[in-house]
Amino acid sequence: MSAALRLGAIGAFLDQVQNVGQMVEIGQSHVHQQEQIRWARRAYQLESQSVRLDVFDHVKEEIRSHHDTYMGRIDALLLVLALVWPFGLNTIQFSDPFVPQTEMECEDCIEVQYTWLVGAWIMLLGMILILPFWGILMLIRCKLKLDRWLEYSLARLNQARRGMNIAPPKEEERDEEEEHDDTKEIVCCLVNMVAECQEYLALIWTEECGWLVQTSTTLLWLSATAALMLTAESVWVFMFNKGISALEL
């Protein structure tokens, strides 16, 4: 009887030990599971932070690309006008045979007989000197407006970056139930901001810069035409006067 009691007590003790082992195993599994969840949350937070930073960088590049697109419309005109204007300055340094002569210098010259050639020459020279200069000033004004828009857009982006939660909160600062991922809200806010900046730039271009570029283009064509006509007139007068001089000899 005593042996049976001993065996029963030993069996009960072994059952308790087995239950304790199972409880310890369950506790260890719970700890490992909590650690895996913690690392998964950290990985998600790092990935969310990386997405937000990438979105900000992409928005900044989008703004700069939009600015460069409009600046490309100005640079070509500015370059050509900057090449035409020195031609007018160099025209002042033409040698005497290519400059209209007075009656005292050459009585038989064609410009003495037809004085309107002198007026045309002066008018064309004035166009080459004045029109490119005004065109360059208009394009510089338009360029400054675009640069101010770029500064405004980047300043607004930096302000939005300071105002938004770029780095997700630490895990110790909040419970899992209270966690709120606002990455989607940040992305939507940035997309809307870029759209507003682009609309503002389109408004600036339409109301302030568009007519400046169109006027500069017109001045460019007038300046180029005047330069060709002035060159043709100077060469024609030179060749005509040279022919008269050869006949007199």
Higher pLDDT, 244 or 78: 78
Enumerate long-range contacts of 144-148, CB under 8 Å, 24 or more apart.
Answer: 145/204, 145/208, 145/209, 146/67, 146/70, 146/71, 146/74, 146/201, 146/204, 146/209
Whether 31 is in a domain gets the answer no
The predicted structure's pLDDT at residue 178: 45
DSSP secondary structure code for residue 16 in this structure = H
Residue 20 belongs to some domain of the structure: no
Query: Is residue 152 included in any domain, yes or no?
Result: yes
Residue 13 lies in a domain: no
How do residues 45-83 score in pLDDT, each as one tens digit?
666 677 777 777 788 888 888 888 888 889 888 888 888
> Can you tell me whether residue 94 is helix, strand or coil?
coil
Closest C-alpha among 229, 236, 247 to residue 111 = 236
- Distance CA(197)–CA(203), nearest Å, equals 10
Please indicate, yes or no, if residue 98 is contained in any of the structural domains.
yes
How many Cα neighbours within 13 Å face the side chain of 41? 18
161 neighbors 56 (Cβ within 8 angstroms): yes
Say if residues 153 and 56 touch (Cβ distance below 8 Å): no
Helix axes 183-204, 116-163, angle to 10 degrees: 160
90: in domain:
yes
Tokens 């568009």, residue located: 210
Q: Is residue 2 part of a domain?
A: no
Kindly state the tokens that stand for 101: 């002569």
163-176: per-residue pLDDT in tens? 665 555 555 554 44
pLDDT on residue 160: 76
* Three-state secondary structure of 169-205: CCHHHCCHHHCCCCHHHHHHHHHHHHHHHHHHHHHHH
Dihedral class, residue 59 (left if φ above 0, else alpha if ψ from -120 to 50, else beta): alpha
Q: How many domains does the chain have?
A: 1
Q: What is the pLDDT of residues 179-232, one digit of tens each?
A: 556 667 777 887 788 888 888 888 999 888 889 999 999 998 998 888 888 888
For residue 104, what are the domain limits?
52-248
Residue 34: inside a domain: no
Q: Is the pTM of this model over 0.75?
A: no
Alpha helices in the chain (DSSP H): 2-91, 110-113, 116-163, 183-204, 210-248
At what angle are helices 2-91 and 116-163 packed, to 10 degrees? 170
Angstrom distance (rounded) from CA 122 to CA 39:
82
